[in-house]
């Protein structure tokens, strides 16, 4: 009973790293949805002030911490829980896992991606490792792109899509910003990069921004307000976390075939704005593949006979199956690794060329135009009555004149965006279904569609 209550409570936590020790700093949280602070040190006065505001405070421990001492004192200190962040030794983790639940305090583990255990249910599934979302910038300060290609997007969404599909636990990604000053747009991208998948980014500010915010500088306060507005936008729609990815492309993948690493096949497809459903190998089922017209099996050798039989039934029904090269095996990621290395990308080349060629101009759930520098994610409500198409803009300027082509029939389309009133959008009938024109997306938006039943 206690564990159930605990899980329900933890699921509503909106986390942020907090460095200030001054209780007055908590005033900055007023009007924001942030209700859970991750701190590396904390005073009794601060804890009391936080508690009076209904805020949870978690003490963040690193592998070098004296775990035993903290475990003994945590409950009496008034903490709301502990966070193990980093590559703890197995024995340390087991010790903490055994000890903490007896105290009624949740233990949140943020290990390296390579140490993630999807089969072990904790109150939160997460990692401290992540890319800093945005457009990759070259040494000369300009967007990195192929001479005539798309800008290169740094994103954690491929990894998060996999976690979302592999577990029902709330997901946190606790990557930090770069050490130097970072633009507000990059913070908004970090919020959206996690939130569009139904995960939460553990808000963390660079030291410069943090310092200016604590000094209540006007520009920092304005940026903080904007970040909070974006957090609130997604927190105001908790139902979206229970909606399932929609689309007719399914990709069967797991941690041993690259799902834990960025820049892999899921990210490659996502950058093309093809709606896709990640199906972890362990969750492969008739239902998981329902409606799929294209199925990508990244590591066919890992499939058992039942899974192969299932795939055969789909291909017999008309679906296209694309498989990774026979005998090909992804190397297991190392503790420090979060992106595919050159060799990994090269190995994906063969399957990517095939996937790219089969995708062509097909509409597998949505086709988007003028969305370079953006990411999207299409979700369907459990009853099939609504779709939401998330749009996250990674550029530092508003994107104008986006067009979306959707198969099917709809009765209403609305554009929701942080800090803006909802906008009704016109539905134009086209051969593919409907076309919707979006005039402008500043940082992120959600296109909400009511389906014709």
Partner 1 sequence: MTRRELLALLGGGAYAAPGRSAPVAIVRARGYEQGLEAAVAGLFDQLGGLGRLVKGKTVTIKLNLTGSPASRFEGRPLGSTHYVHPRLVGAVVHAMGRAGARRVRLVESCWATGGPMEEFLLDCGWPVRALATAAPQVEFENTNARGKGRRYVRLKTPPGAWIYPAYDLNEAYEQTDVFVSLAKLKNHATCGVTLSLKNSFGITPASIYGDDAGLEEPNENPTTGRAAVFHFGKRGPSRSAPQEFDPQSSRDPGYRVPRIVAELVAARPVDLAVIDGIETVTGGEGPWIDGLRFVQPHLLIGGLNPVATDAVAMAVMGYDPQAVRGTPPFHRADNTLKLAEALGVGSADLRQIEVRGLSIEQARFPFPA
The contact set with partner 1 (CB under 8 A) reads 140, 142-143, 145-151, 360-361, 369-370, 372-373, 395-397, 399-403
Q: 95 vs 405, which CB is nearer to partner 1?
A: 405
- Edge to edge, what strands does the sheet with 386-393 contain? 244-245, 374-380, 386-393, 444-451, 410-417, 420-425
Q: 3-class SS at 15?
A: strand
- How many angstroms separate the CA atoms of 300 and 55, rounded? 47
Q: How far is the CB of 226 from partner 1 (least distance, A)?
A: 18
Q: How far is the CB of 450 from partner 1 (least distance, A)?
A: 23
Q: 127 vs 395, which CB is nearer to partner 1?
A: 395
Contacts of 253 (CB under 8 A, 6+ apart): 162, 259, 264, 265, 266, 278, 279, 280, 281, 296, 298, 299
Q: How far is the CB of 369 from partner 1 (least distance, A)?
A: 4
Q: 151 vs 255, which CB is nearer to partner 1?
A: 151
Indicate the pairing of strand 200-201 with strand 171-173.
Answer: parallel
Q: How far is the CB of 360 from partner 1 (least distance, A)?
A: 8
Indicate the pairing of strand 444-451 with strand 386-393.
Answer: antiparallel
Q: How far is the CB of 212 from partner 1 (least distance, A)?
A: 25
Q: How far is the CB of 403 from partner 1 (least distance, A)?
A: 5
- Supply φ then ψ for residue 391, to 5 degrees: -130, 125
- Supply φ then ψ for residue 15, to 5 degrees: -90, 150
Per the CB < 8 A criterion, the answer to whether 83 and 110 are in contact is: yes
Q: 5 vs 369, which CB is nearer to partner 1?
A: 369
Per the CB < 8 A criterion, the answer to whether 80 and 56 are in contact is: yes
Q: How far is the CB of 370 from partner 1 (least distance, A)?
A: 4
User: What is the token pair recorded at 161?
Assistant: 């899509």
Q: 26 vs 145, which CB is nearer to partner 1?
A: 145
Q: 60 vs 376, which CB is nearer to partner 1?
A: 376
- Supply φ then ψ for residue 241, to 5 degrees: -65, -20
Q: 119 vs 397, which CB is nearer to partner 1?
A: 397
Q: How far is the CB of 262 from partner 1 (least distance, A)?
A: 20
User: What is the token pair recorded at 88?
Assistant: 């703890």
- How many angstroms separate the CA atoms of 367 and 310, rounded? 28
Q: How far is the CB of 395 from partner 1 (least distance, A)?
A: 5
- How many angstroms separate the CA atoms of 248 and 295, rounded? 8
Q: 140 vs 453, which CB is nearer to partner 1?
A: 140
202 burial class (0-12, 13-18, 19+ CB within 10 angstroms)? buried
Q: 290 vs 370, which CB is nearer to partner 1?
A: 370
């Amino acid at each position: 009973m206690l564990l159930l209550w605990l899980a329900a409570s933890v699921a509503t936590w909106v986390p942020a790293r907090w460095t200030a020790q001054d209780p007055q700093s908590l005033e900055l949280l007023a009007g924001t949805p942030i209700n859970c602070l991750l701190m590396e040190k904390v005073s009794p006065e601060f804890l009391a002030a936080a508690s009076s505001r209904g805020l949870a405070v978690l003490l963040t421990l690193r592998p070098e911490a004296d775990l035993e001492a903290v475990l003994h004192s945590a409950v009496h200190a008034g903490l709301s829980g502990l966070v193990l962040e980093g590559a703890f030794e197995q024995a340390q983790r087991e010790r903490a896992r055994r000890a903490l639940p007896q105290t009624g305090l949740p233990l949140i583990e943020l290990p390296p991606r390579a140490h993630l255990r999807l089969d072990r249910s904790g109150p939160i599934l997460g990692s401290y490792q992540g890319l800093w979302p945005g457009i990759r910038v070259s040494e000369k300060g300009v967007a990195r792109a192929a001479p005539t290609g798309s800008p290169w997007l740094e994103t954690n969404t491929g990894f998060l899509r996999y976690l979302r599909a592999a577990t029902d636990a709330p997901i946190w990604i606790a990557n930090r910003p770069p050490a130097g000053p970072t633009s507000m747009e990059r913070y908004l991208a970090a919020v959206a990069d996690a939130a569009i998948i139904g995960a939460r980014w553990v808000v963390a500010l660079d030291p410069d921004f943090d310092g200016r915010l604590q000094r209540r500088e006007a520009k920092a306060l304005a940026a903080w307000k904007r970040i909070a507005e974006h957090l609130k936008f997604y927190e105001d729609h908790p139902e979206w976390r229970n909606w399932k990815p929609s689309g007719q492309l399914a990709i069967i993948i797991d941690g041993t075939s690259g799902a834990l690493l960025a820049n892999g096949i899921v990210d490659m497809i996502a950058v093309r704005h093809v709606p896709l459903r990640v199906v972890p190998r362990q969750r492969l089922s008739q239902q998981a593949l329902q409606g799929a017209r294209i199925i990508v099996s990244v590591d066919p050798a890992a499939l058992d006979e039942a899974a192969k039989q299932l795939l055969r039934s789909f291909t017999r029904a008309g679906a296209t199956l694309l498989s990774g090269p026979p005998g090909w095996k992804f190397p297991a990621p190392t503790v420090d690794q979060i992106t595919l290395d050159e060799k990994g990308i090269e190995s994906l080349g063969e399957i990517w060329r095939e996937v790219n060629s089969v995708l062509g101009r097909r509409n597998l759930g949505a086709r988007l135009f003028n969305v370079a520098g953006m990411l999207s994610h299409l979700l369907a409500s459990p009853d099939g009555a609504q779709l939401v198409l998330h749009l996250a803009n990674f550029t530092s300027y508003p994107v104008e004149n986006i067009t979306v082509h959707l198969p099917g029939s709809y009765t209403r389309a609305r554009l929701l965006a942080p800090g803006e009133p909802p906008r009704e959008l016109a539905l134009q009938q086209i051969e593919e279904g409907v076309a919707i024109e979006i005039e402008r997306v500043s940082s992120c938006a959600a296109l909400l569609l009511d389906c014709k039943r």
